[in-house]
Structure 1
């Protein structure tokens, strides 16, 4: 679908001021016809941020001749920024031609300035000892070269002085690749992540690769073997076993005393200390020579033996498993776990801290308070462009390391 826009501008200043401020509302793929009082206004618009990024813009300016209007077209990458293409003389055009030609299919050898820095595997910059560039290669570099070849353009590569993506200063300016794009020193920046913060400067492409975010922390050593004695049961199970051990002795004593009034139970079972000792032995599968005589006491002891046999078999089977396999400490699985751990995080730059702060998830927002930039994290953070390596000394100091990743676009 082709979207067209027609602006009849007696006073172009409000229009130009509005789109200098709110350029993100502009439809860069639309076709525009601007009727302006002079060519200077059209040239000023073409030199603006949105004018340099819009393919189809047509300017109509009234000439000094009565009933004549001159048509101008933006050149984009075709040499001079503005070219006169036609004239409307009273009732017709003086030339028959396409007012909105495809300006991206063939760039006529125009130079495309492309900026990047060493961030593998997407882009590499090999330098000599004197810092001169020896070679540029990588996934994004080859993609841009192929695109330039198809569009009949020349790819000219450069790198920012800071050799990073860049962030926004408090005064509104940018540094790094973002600064070069913001100052219009280059046409394309490659090896980018798609983020909300960066979308206000460049026009980001659709992502062509997905690079998930990964949190890395120093692995704690396995728990000592002696603790395996407690692993087979959950803490609530151990609590239930303890309650059963405490209560079973007095219950046996009460049943024996009730049966003893009728003369049908052994006297030693009617003693509280002996009943407790009896129930304690049953829990450890130790048989007693004393057997209850009354029916109620026999039923209770039979139930107690069945209960302790099931408990003992379950415990022994689970204990063998925990003795054979070392139990690892509990891991963090969610952002809530990450926040509640209270660990300090290290991140490369402010990308993640700013992104987390704008998240709708309350725990991700809370995590932001624990994120330190690469400079603040100091030696605890070791991030390479090809791999992440935590050294022995750094691993002892680092509580948590944050490895960056997201969708990437050229």
Structure 2
């Protein structure tokens, strides 16, 4: 368990004297689980005969696969074997009904466990007399074990006693969850989106990769922009800056032209100062912008041409703005969704899952981006996640797995109503290749890997994924999630106008009315104040006289 040495082809030879050899040694678990064992037992009396024995290994465990059988006998004086048999016969081609136990927990589409009349396995955690003992198992990874046992004549069974989570192996050679069942010799294979976690690999063996699994998130759909922001939407910030600069140039041009007109065409008594010219330029510019006429008389062709040019320019700007505003009012504008890794980080969106296994592969990363994502990750039970998903407005992200051929492993707590408020991220937070964890020195690992090679090369991985998803998952939910990838939820098309569409315009109107009212009151107060001061000064003069 502590050695760094590993091999797929292990052979063990034990040498004994006849009076020292005890067959009770062969009753240990090690002698049940290893296929290539050789016991060389010397006849102590003469020392000229060696019995060559091996364990049975094949067959159900109830038939004691650790029992020893005489394989051959070697005569030293004649330097020959009695039967000349192979010292390490191949016991793995036909396992004769030997059980292969899966550490089972329901995690579609990787592993599926359900009660069905078409039972193909038994749950050894359930009492013999219970109707729940016989179960139907399926899954993209479970089918590999089922096919393996069809090929090598073994019997699949599951044990759900401790498999409530992926689990962890600890340095003291203990563990919990599904992986802990391997270390406790309660299971032979642990599958179900098991990543190649290094800490667990130190004490277990793992198979060739099974599938590529990407960890991604279902995040809240983008919210509609606030109504007060709608009047600003037709133009981007840079275009608004350009419009403002254009209006400033128009204002300055009109001020200078109007001032020149005063100097050239009017008598000194009719001329006005710079302040009146500035008021003319500013008021005329913004009147033209909102298609209102002015009340000032132009005496020069320069001012008239400039006014005409400003009118055409403002007419084009307001036409473009009106067209953009009309399209925005009928097609709602949405905020930016946290549908990429960078956006998930910038939005500081909280995301959650039901196990540490979702992020254990990236815990040791030095990337600041990963650290920021992990700071926003939370672990909740399925009941809490269900409560979050049933909120009227979903406000957190939910971790899901993206399978290699377009499907998703989604928790049962996410129903159609919750997914209507969610959108799948465009990229993965990270990805890994799933494996099957097995005990150290598992003799069937070589054959198991060969089957996986053939499985990948034949294309059955894609075929099985589609079949398992079609037979065991909610296709409506799969289609809902898949539809969000194309952005169809963002492009919801024209909608009927309501008061919310005019909230921004009404807000601008209210703001203008409030400013106009305060301006009017200020003018009234200022006028009354000036009149009062003038009256006071006149009264003082009359009193003096």
TM-score (norm 2): 0.55
> Which residue of structure 1 aligns with residue 372 of structure 2?
366
The corresponding residue for 1:248 is 250
Query: Following the alignment from structure 1 to structure 2, what is the Cα–Cα distance between the partners of residues 267 and 63?
Result: 136
The alpha-carbon distance between structure 1 residues 267 and 373, as it changes in their structure 2 partners (threshold 3 A), is same
Residues 24-63 of structure 1 mapped to structure 2, 5 A cutoff:
25-28=5-8, 30=9
Q: CA deviation at 1:316?
A: 1.9
Q: Deviations over 1:69-118 (max 9, x none)?
A: 98776766573387775659699763544555544322122222223123
- Distance change (3 Å), C-alpha of 1:37 and 1:124: closer
CA contact (8 A) 2:101 2:187 kept: yes
- Give the superposed CA RMSD: 4.6
Matched, 1:185 2:186: yes
Counterparts of 1:38 and 1:300, CA distance in 2: 114
- Write the distance in 2 (CA, Å) between the matches of 1:44 and 1:310: 97
Listed as ranges, the matches of 1:223-302 within 5 Å are 223-257=225-259, 271-288=277-294, 293=300, 301=307
Q: Does the 8 Å CA contact 1:167/1:176 hold for their aligned counterparts?
A: yes
For residues 248 and 381 of structure 1, the distance between their equivalents in structure 2, rounded to whole angstroms, comes to 59
Give the superposition deviation at 1:215.
Answer: 1.7
Q: Which residue of 2 aligns with 1:22?
A: 3
Q: 1:107 to 1:262 in 2, by over 3 A?
A: same
Give 3-state SS (helix, strand or coil) of 1:117's partner: coil
Q: How far, CA to CA, are the matches of 2:251 and 2:130 in structure 1?
A: 83
Q: In the alignment, is the contact (CA less than 8 A) between 1:335 and 1:364 conserved in 2? A: no
**1:382 corresponds to which of 383, 386, 389:** 386
For structure 1, list consecutive stretches of 5 or more residues without a partner in the other structure. 1-19, 384-388
1 CA distance for matches of 2:243 and 2:75? Answer: 97
Structure 2 counterpart of 1:80, from 66, 70, 85 = 66
Greater C-alpha Rg = 2
Aligned residue-pair number: 373
Q: In structure 2, what is the Cα distance between the partners aligned to 1:300 and 1:70?
A: 117
2:16–2:39 CA contact under 8 A, matched in 1: no
1:341-369 deviation digits (Å, cap 9, x = unpaired): 33333211211242331345431232212
1:138 partner SS: strand
Task: Tell me which of 93, 112, 126 is aligned to 1:123.
Answer: 112
Question: Match for 1:400 among 383, 387, 397?
Answer: 397
Match of 2:148 in 1: 147
Hey, what does 1:342 align to over in structure 2? 348
Using the alignment, how far apart are the partners of 2:159 and 2:216 within structure 1? 30
State the partner residue of 2:94. Answer: 106
If asked which structure has higher relative contact order (CA below 8 Å, sep 6+), I would say 2
Aligned-residue offset at 1:273: 0.6
Asked if the contact 2:105/2:163 (under 8 Å) is kept, the reply is: no
Q: 1:253, 1:269 within 8 Å by CA — same for their partners in 2? A: no
Instruction: Judge conservation of contact 1:160–1:176 (CA < 8 Å) in 2.
Output: no
Q: CA deviation at 1:230?
A: 1.8
Measured in 2, the distance between the counterparts of 1:234 and 1:91 equals: 99
For residue 107 of structure 1, give the secondary structure of its aligned residue in structure 2.
Answer: coil
Q: Is the 8 A contact 1:381 1:398 kept in 2?
A: no
Decide whether the 8 Å contact of 1:380 with 1:398 is kept in 2: no
Q: SS of 1:346's equivalent?
A: strand
Are 2:26 and 2:67, in contact at CA under 8 Å, matched by a contact in 1?
Answer: no
In structure 2, relative to structure 1, the CA distance for the partners of 1:112 and 1:250 (3 Å cut) is same
Q: Secondary structure at the match of 1:113?
A: strand
Q: Cα–Cα, structure 1 residues 189 and 279, in superposed 2: closer, same or farther, change >3 Å? A: same
Query: 1:108 and 1:379, CA in 2 relative to 1: closer, same or farther beyond 3 A?
Result: closer
Deviations 1:372-397 (A, max 9, x none): 2224xx854129xxxxx9224xx558
* Residue deviations 1:34-54 (CA, integer Å, cap 9, x gap): 7777699xx9999898x9888
Partner of 1:352: 358
- Residue 303 of structure 1 and its aligned partner are, at CA, apart by 5.4
Equivalent in the alignment of 1:391 = 390
Tell me the SS of whatever aligns to 1:105: coil
1:276 partner SS: helix
Contact kept in structure 1, 2:210 and 2:435, CA below 8 Å: yes
So what's the TM-score if we normalise by structure 1?
A: 0.70
